[in-house]
Amino acid sequence: MSLMGLDIGTSGSKCTLFDEEGHVLAMAYRDYSINHLQAGYYELDPHLVWQAVKEVIQQVTHGSRGDWVQAIAISSFGEAAVPVGPNGEILGKSILYMDPRGIEQSADLAERLGADTVMTLTGLPIHPMYTVNKLMWLRENQPDLYHRTWKFMLFGDFVIYQLTGLPVIDNSLASRTMAMNVIDKRWEPTILEAAGIDPALLSNLAPSGTVVGTVTGSIAASLGLDARTTVVTGGHDQACAALGAGIISDGFAMDGIGTVECITPAFSRPIINERMLRHNFNCAPHVVHGMYLAYAFNFTGGSLLQWYKNSFGQAATSEAERRGISAYDVLNEAAAASPTDLLVIPHFSGAGTPYMNPASRGAIYGLSLETRPDQIYRALLEGVNYEMMVNLECLNDAGVQVNTLRAVGGGSKSALWMQIKANIFGRKVETLHVGEAGTLGAAILAGTAIGIYSSYEAAASQLIRIKDEFFPDSRQTAIYREKYEQYKTFSSKLISQ
């Protein structure tokens, strides 16, 4: 018997099958493309996503040698909505969070309600990325599509609906619509009335880890699942990954290091105040009942190193191919051994929290004719971590304390990155044996819902194992503390321009 975790992202979907001890039995991934039809417009075709989901489930169940999948839960990215017709048909494409459509509608809501009111009700700083603004845009600009739609579903509840025929969305994912009351866990009438949206257009709310039903017979057969397989509400991808990393108590935070870097701290009471709003932090329900999360993120993480590798790492790539290793391993081996005098502002894709400034641009300061490539590479790692240190300070200012970070994602495989992180943060950084925190978190939700695990704490204790610990080096931490003050001064000057 086994548990299945699905993780639906903007560029691909993955599926992992775990046994009850957390060992990976099978894994599959399928990617899909984002539609970029005109400048600034970004859409995702739900047909492609659902096809990819079916394929990864089929591949995993085929590789499970007939093992019965007891339960399945879904981790999903947020914001983008699928227009679904009254017979369950997909009516159109989904507008992604980075698409500018919704800017005018967001401004309208801000004028009608005020940013403080929206933050107090939803736990979100008002922003055009959220679903409500996209739905307002659709009603005004594509009224035929809007009025033909039975439900606007985010991808988590869309896949639940495809599997069970029931429209159910979990609270952590629903929070990304900017239409859910973060305290009462209900669709917020103040927001929906101001937006002119009927709550009947949205799925039914339920806590993460709620049993929805079983996979319908016809779809079960086509996917290689048993009709007895239980479908359980999952969560927003950051929340599921936090559970999969064991971030279930105060003082701990997940540091997810992929294309984007996001620090996700957990706290046991809702923190909604003026400083959270000023720093552009959210307060969202965790998939763990009674807990909350915030998302502090930088739009560049791994993407900054990818830019360097693709632009200047031809020799490293050739060396890696010769040795049969990753080009990043070669770059890490050759990186400067000590802190650099360079300051890298990592806003190569704009600035995330606490600034939320898409117009901000990156910079490398301090270059001279003596600067070496190995120093530039290390400086990129330093700059990304300086930026995340700004976020840690702002979280602390808002009342969110972080003592220990658990790093997950591709960047966590770099011991160099992790040690620089520990030195700049002045905190212990842990890495985990699990490679897929998101799908593991979904599997924990599924297993706990059907009674395999007595609690999330018991599941975390049993399944999540620390791989390495990185402690601050006092000498380098002292150097970085001085450099960090210079970074803040330089960064603030650039941001204010």
The confidence score (pLDDT) of residue 358 equals 83
Given a contact cutoff of 8 angstroms between Cβ atoms, the answer to whether 214 and 366 are in contact is: no
The confidence score (pLDDT) of residue 37 equals 75
pLDDT tens for each residue of the chain, 497 residues long? 899 999 999 999 999 999 999 999 999 999 999 988 777 789 999 999 999 999 999 999 987 665 789 999 999 999 999 999 999 999 999 999 989 999 999 999 999 999 999 999 999 999 999 999 999 999 999 999 999 999 999 999 999 999 999 999 999 999 999 999 999 999 999 999 999 999 999 999 999 999 999 999 889 999 999 999 999 999 999 999 999 999 999 999 999 998 889 999 999 999 999 999 999 999 999 999 999 999 999 988 889 999 999 999 999 999 999 999 999 999 999 999 999 999 999 999 899 999 998 889 999 999 999 999 999 999 999 999 999 999 999 999 999 999 999 999 889 999 999 999 999 999 999 999 987 899 999 999 999 999 999 999 999 999 999 999 999 999 999 999 999 999 999 998 888 77
Kindly state the tokens that stand for 433: 């044996």
Give the residue ranges of DSSP H helices in 284-372.
Answer: 302-312, 314-323, 327-334
What is the β-pairing status of strands 402-408 and 204-206? unpaired
Half-sphere exposure of 407 (CA within 13 A, CB side): 29
Distance, in Å, from the CA atom of 28 to the CA atom of 5, rounded to the nearest integer, reads 11
Query: CA separation (Å) from 90 to 45, 430, 438?
Result: 9, 43, 26
DSSP state of 425: H
DSSP β-bridge partners for residue 80: none
Query: Whole-structure pTM over 0.85, yes or no?
Result: yes
Q: Give DSSP secondary structure letters for 250-305.
A: TEEEEEEESSSEEEEEEESS----HHHHHTT---EE-SSTT-EE--EEES-SHHHH
The confidence score (pLDDT) of residue 446 equals 98
Q: What are phi and psi of 197, to 5 degrees?
A: -115, 130
The confidence score (pLDDT) of residue 66 equals 59
The confidence score (pLDDT) of residue 65 equals 63
Domains and CATH numbers, the chain: 2-240 (3.30.420.40), 246-433+465-497 (3.30.420.40)
Given a contact cutoff of 8 angstroms between Cβ atoms, the answer to whether 217 and 226 are in contact is: no
The 3-state DSSP class for residue 69 equals strand
